[in-house]
Structure 1
Amino acid sequence: MKPDISLRAALDALSARNGQSARLARNEVSAPVLGGVVQANVIDEVTVVTPAPPARMKRPRQLPPAPHGFVNRRREIERIEAAATGGGERGAAIVVLSGMAGVGKTACALQWAHRHADRFDGGHLFADLDGYRHHGGIAVTDVAGAFLRALGVPWDYIPPDLPERVALFRSLTARSRVLVVLDGADHAAQIRSLVPTSPGSVVLATSRRRLSGLAIDGAHTVELRPLDDEHGATLVAHMVRDDRVHHDPSATRRLVDLCAGLPIALKVVGAELGRLERWTVARYAQHLSDDRKRLSRLSVEGDHLVEHVFDAAYDDLSAPARRMYRVLGLHPGGDFDAGVAAAMADTPAAEAEEQLAALRAVNLVEEHAADRYRFHDLVRLHAAHRAEREGADERDDVRRRAVEWYLLGAAAADRAVLGPARWRLADHDLRPWPVEFDAGSGMEWFETERTNLLAAVRLAADIGLHTAAWQLCEALWAFYHSRKHYADWIEAHRIGAESAAAVGARAAECRLRNQLARAHVELRDFEAAKAELSRAERVIADNGLGRAMVHESYGLLLREQERYDDAAREFESALLISRRLGDPRAIGVQAYQFGDALVRAGKAALALPVLEEARRLLERLRDEMSTARVHIALGRAYEALRRVADARRVLTAAIATTRSRRQPVKEAQALEVMVVIAREQRDEDLFRVSAQRLFELYRDAGNPRSAEVLRWFGSRG
């Protein structure tokens, strides 16, 4: 078939008219296009009509309502205000409210925003960034687009890419003050992209993370903490319309404690009390007192609001950080360091520190002192629940490693404080312990870990690690005997003695019951002391040192009853047993006790050779603390014999040792004798120095005798 000559001629004519090639043009788009595209073969004439841009941008008012029942936060509001007004001509001020989940960051941000809404002539923009979260990240491009739309930009004029949207946003906000509230930011970059350029504008962001990277942008961080008892009770009262909260303030304080001041939990409590009109506050507090059920019971109409908040924070963590969170949920005590975290997780120290930093960054743990971390009480319960649900297969191993860590640390500290010569039933390889203690740092570690050590004793017994339980008590003797934490001492040794009995460790049970009796003696509960010593005698068997210890404890019991001659006989019996056994340290200690009883019985001259023997033996063993105790007894003997120079010499040595080794009780005993000597000798300088230090020790320990020392000063003008 022949080609249509007339059609070809028409096409050629059309091409010539448009100045184009005779052949057909390719149908393609070769440059960026904003908006729609129409593609066609040949078009004779096109008329394009586009909407005109708005003549005036809108002033959005997007703030959610002000929070109901908002209380306290005056300090935080003032800090926001100071930061918000400090931008000057530099551009927008950036303020980040950081804190744990549920602590009230959004409420605080909105409270400030509503108070100061009138200062922003360009309007208020608000974004709940959780609503823009996709596959774990926040689509900032979508947030920027929503802000542009709120500012009045038609969709057809909104660029597709983030950089172009940000540029347009900054152009539109360059000449008016705008408030931008970003709720739930994850990273600094999300905030940087949405900062207006006009001076006087404010970006107020909330985040579980600290977002410290924004410091280079001049951002200010305001950290929110849980409410105190007073303001927590006020928050609950705001939500309960009757007088139940006011009529039972002690139960209300208990509720605040159970919620650990966390506002979201307190609001749940208030809502539930409002619903349960016939419940007293005390009944509801009892309802929440079970640690295992508290989180599930902090719900409104079946919605577990508090637990959901913590779940969301947990789900955002990396897998290693989630495991560390679960592991620490099994920690037996109140706070912890990186060392025990590494031990429990069975991971290198550097990795443990990295995961702790990740948990701290999202405010799931708080670093309340250098390398000391703790959970908020409700977070701790959540971590424990997660450990039960997801980490049950390793739960027993994690708890065992926690007990072993504290046992090893206690053994190392005990050896540093009392020296290697002390008789010990347990033998520990201390090489894995990462810290080399001296006597002072060992005692300081004991004090720092005090609550954890008692918790570890409890845990060891609860999970059947009875040998570890009694060994922990043996290692804690140096601490309890020196620092006099009697409640801890008694509870730990009761558990330890029962654990020793459970595994048939008779020598250990004898020792721990003997040490338990010592606590009762010092508390002047003589009947309880006798009962424990009777139990100790029943399990002595052929343990000579155990028998010597029981004689010694009976001597201490009689000494406290001021039956000094009877006490001296018991100490002498203990000394004779120790001599037969040939244990030099036991001989030194028993000689000290015997000599001290003789001094108290008014037989200082007879006591001197016995005490000198004790001093020589203990100095030879380099047992500084026991030597210091002997020096105190010698000081009393020399003072009774009016050998003042000798008394001052040995007491000065005792004071120096006890002070350097952080033994305030023994230091006070030495100072008591020194003050007596100073008063008798009318040595004003010695009296002033000694009495001042004695007053400080009494005051710090809460000893009522501090008032007596003040009266001494008053009587001397």
Structure 2
Amino acid sequence: MLITSKNRLNALDDLAPVPVGEFSTAEAIDLSYQGLPEPQRRLFGLLALHPGRDIAAHSAAALAGLGVAEAGRLLGRLAAAHLIIQRHGGYWQFDELVRAFATGRVLAEVPRAEQDAAVTRLLDLALARTAACDELLAPQRYRPPPVPGGEAPEAAEGFAEWRTALSWLDLEWPNLVALCGLAALRGEYQRCWRLAFLLRDFFFRTKLWEPWIGTHQHAVASATAAGDTTALAMTLNNLGMAHADRGDLGTARGHYEQALALFREAGDEHGSTGALANLAWVNLYLGEHLAARRDLGIALEFHRRAGSARNVAITLRGIALAEVELGAFGDALRHAEQARDDFLGVELDAAMSASCLAWVRYRAGQAAEAAACYRQAVSLGERGRSPFEVARAKTGLGNLAAAAGSGAEAAQLWAQADRLHPGINPVTVGEARARQAWQSAGGRR
């Protein structure tokens, strides 16, 4: 049976020789702690170093430098002593009073060097597992080398496939965000910015903009403190992506320009090309279509030389979107089709390419072909577990229904899109702009 906070605190109070209340609960916690064998007392104190609310057995094992099975056994003993709470999914949790006791009383007795080693092991576990996820979710993405001298703890197991990795991130991301902050606070600068870097694609997929920005702000401070110019440039570039993705284009442009200057100063052609391409996307969203088309063309040549299929596909999508706005529908169709055909290895990328092609066909007046592409994007987005991409495609299908005079069908599709991802930004998503225009015109355009 799951042990709840209320049941546990009642049990603690039963142990106390004084009347029930905050003081008696504190005494009961102390009595329970005093009765623990040394290995359990040590783990109990080290658990207080974990910055998140829910603690996985793997994380407890890393903190204590134990195997997962041994850590799980000790966690069970702590739960039996009513000092932690067992949660679903293999997680454990402190009550706030118990955490305060562990932090103020128990952890204070652990030598600082042992605390530092425990935090380093926990961060190395987070890095190893997040890197394993990122390799499955974005296999062609560049990843920085591991921290010099860092070691993956025994608890750092990999993942069988990307869906398992994504499910782990769905549960663990609040802890990983908290660990970014802890790493920055404790001067673990190289680990901080790397962890933020590895979380970027997950945050892009899920549109979790606030934690994306928060982790990267810690990473900017950490890279700056470490004097690591390359890390700072990469982090600024990724921070710009977060702001651009949610439509804050002025802030995004500022970060991209800083990144571009740092990359150029370092002679990093790959980095400077990425920052230039990102600036081109901002220009696209701001209506500066000729500039966007020009700079995306420069980026395309570089990515083709470098053999980066994913970046080629992304850049082709941007070029197609710029050409649509310039009225070059033939070129836009050709480039959108290339983007779809060149890289179909990851469902998320494939869904984005299908929607891009659908948008081009919609703007070119090819309604039937656009509908087929949007339906493909819905299927790919569902398989890729991307509610945002499914919502975008359903918004496009709603626009087509509105154009065909079927207001009821359009409203139904738009409502489905809103349930999946409310408030798609018309600044960055053409389908949302078109929907806005249809609704403003009362279904007539």
Task: Identify whether the pair has TM-score above 0.5, normalized to the shorter chain.
Answer: yes
CA distance in 1, matches of 2:48, 2:418: 42
* 8 Å CA contact retained: 1:99, 1:105: no
Deviation at 1:388, TM superposition (A): 2.1
CA RMSD of aligned residues (A): 3.3
Q: Which residue of 1 aligns with 2:256?
A: 533
The C-alpha deviation readout for 1:409-430, integer Å capped at 9, x for no partner, is 2111112212x21222336999
Secondary structure of residue in 1 paired with 2:385: coil
- Aligned residue for 1:441? 164
Equivalent residue for 1:426? Answer: 145
Mark the CA change 1:522 to 1:422 in structure 2 (over 3 Å): closer, same or farther. closer
| Aligned-pair CA distance for 1:328 | 0.7
- Deviation of 1:703 after TM superposition, in Å, equals 9.5
In structure 2, the partner of 1:401 is: 121
Alignment deviations for residues 202-256 of structure 1 (CA, whole Å, 9 cap, x no partner): xxxxxxxxxxxxxxxxxxxxxxxxxxxxxxxxxxxxxxxxxxxxxxxxxxxxxxx
- Mapped partners of 1:510, 1:575: distance in 2: 21
In the other structure, the counterpart of 1:135 is: none
CA contact (8 A) 2:12 2:25 kept: no
Q: For residue 569 of structure 1, give the secondary structure of its aligned residue in structure 2.
A: helix
Deviation at 1:325, TM superposition (A): 0.9
SS of 2:145's equivalent in the other structure is: coil
Partner in structure 1 of residue 99 of structure 2: 380
Displacement after TM superposition at 1:488 (Å)? 1.4
Shift of 1:684: 8.7
**Structure 1 CA distance, aligned partners of 2:414 and 2:123?**
43
Which of 326, 345, 355 is residue 45 of structure 2 equivalent to? 326
Q: Cα gap change, 1:642/1:690 in structure 2, threshold over 3 Å: closer, same or farther?
A: same
Q: Which structure has the bigger radius of gyration?
A: 1
Partner Cα distance (2:395, 2:330) in 1: 21
Q: Distance in 2 between matches of 1:580 and 1:588?
A: 14
What residue number does 1:414 align with? 134
Letter of the aligned partner of 2:419 in structure 1?
Answer: E
Give the TM-score of the pair, scaled to structure 2: 0.84
Deviation at 1:476, TM superposition (A): 0.6
| Post-superposition offset of 1:516 | 0.8
**Distance across 2 between alignment mates of 1:374 and 1:104:** 16
- Aligned AA (1:417): L
Q: Tell me by how many angstroms 1:638 deviates.
A: 1.0
Give 1:550's match in structure 2, choosing from 266, 270, 275: 275
- Tell whether 2:315 aligns with 1:590: yes
Match of 1:616 among 341, 347, 350: 341
1:603-661 deviations in whole A, cap 9, x for unaligned?
33221111222222212xx1332222111110001112222332223222221122222
State the 1:685 CA deviation.
Answer: 9.9
> Given that residues 85 and 94 in structure 2 are in contact (C-alpha distance below 8 angstroms), is that contact kept between their aligned partners in structure 1?
yes
- Is 1:570 the equivalent of 2:289? no
Amino acid at match of 1:608: L
The DSSP-based 3-state class of the residue aligned with 2:87 is strand
Tell me the equivalent position of 1:358: 77
1:7-86 to structure 2, matched below 5 A, reads none
1:501-541 Cα shifts (integer Å, max 9, x gaps): 34443332212101111222344444432332232123202
Cα displacement (A) at 1:589: 1.9
Paired position in structure 2 for 1:336: 55
2:304 to 565, 576, 579: 579
**How many residues are aligned here?**
422
1:490 to 2:213 alignment: yes
AA matched with 1:408: A
Q: Contact conserved, 2:189 with 2:223, CA < 8 A, in 1?
A: yes
Task: Give SS of 1:347's match.
Answer: coil
Return closer, same or farther for 1:383/1:524 CA change in 2, 3 Å cut-off.
same
Give the TM-score of the pair, scaled to structure 1.
Answer: 0.54
1:100 and 2:26 equivalent? no
**Contact 2:13 / 2:28 at 8 angstroms: preserved in 1?**
no
Q: 1:345 to 1:638 in 2, by over 3 A?
A: same
How big is each residue's C-alpha offset from its partner over 1:68-104, in whole Å with a ceiling of 9 and x where there is no partner? xxxxxxxxxxxxxxxxxxxxxxxxxxxxx97334788
Alpha-carbon shift at residue 310 of structure 1 (Å)? 2.2
Amino acid at match of 1:411: A
Distance in 2, Cα, partners of 1:555 & 1:626: 19
2:256 paired with 1:348: no
Question: Per-residue displacement from partner, 1:107-142 (whole Å, max 9, x unpaired)?
Answer: xxxxxxxxxxxxxxxxxxxxxx777xxxxxxxxxxx
Identity of aligned residues (%): 24
Supply the distance in 1 between the matched residues of 2:11 and 2:16 (Cα, whole angstroms).
17
Structure 2: stretches of 5+ with no match in the other structure? 427-431
2:244 to 521, 532, 535: 521
AA of the residue aligned to 2:399? V
Aligned 8 A contact 1:552 1:570 in 2? yes
- Separation in 1 of the partners of 2:98 and 2:327? 60
SS in 2 for 1:100: helix
More helix by share: 2
Report the Cα distance in structure 2 between the residues aligned to 1:320 and 1:569, rounded to whole angstroms: 64
Aligned residues of 2:68 and 2:155 also touching (Cα < 8 A): no
Any stretches of 5+ residues in structure 1 without a counterpart? 1-96, 107-128, 132-182, 185-262, 269-304
Q: Distance in 2 between matches of 1:448 and 1:687?
A: 35
Q: Which whole-Å CA distance do the structure 2 matches of 1:678 and 1:426 have between them?
A: 49
Write the distance in 2 (CA, Å) between the matches of 1:401 and 1:529. 34
Task: Measure the CA separation in 2 of the matches of 1:702 and 1:682.
Answer: 23
Deviations 1:22-46 (A, max 9, x none): xxxxxxxxxxxxxxxxxxxxxxxxx
For residue 544 of structure 1, what is the amino acid of its counterpart?
E
The answer to whether the 8 Å contact 2:352/2:389 transfers is yes
Distance 1:507 1:568 in 2: 27
Tell me the CA shift for residue 397 of structure 1: 1.0
Q: Output the CA distance in 2 between the equivalents of 1:382 and 1:130.
A: 16
Q: Distance in 2 between matches of 1:614 and 1:524?
A: 23
Q: Deviations over 1:402-456 (max 9, x none)?
A: 11111112111112212x2122233699997424153333333222112211111
Aligned ranges 1:656-675 → 2 under 5 Å: 656-675=379-398
> C-alpha separation between the residues in 2 aligned to 1:678 and 1:525?
30
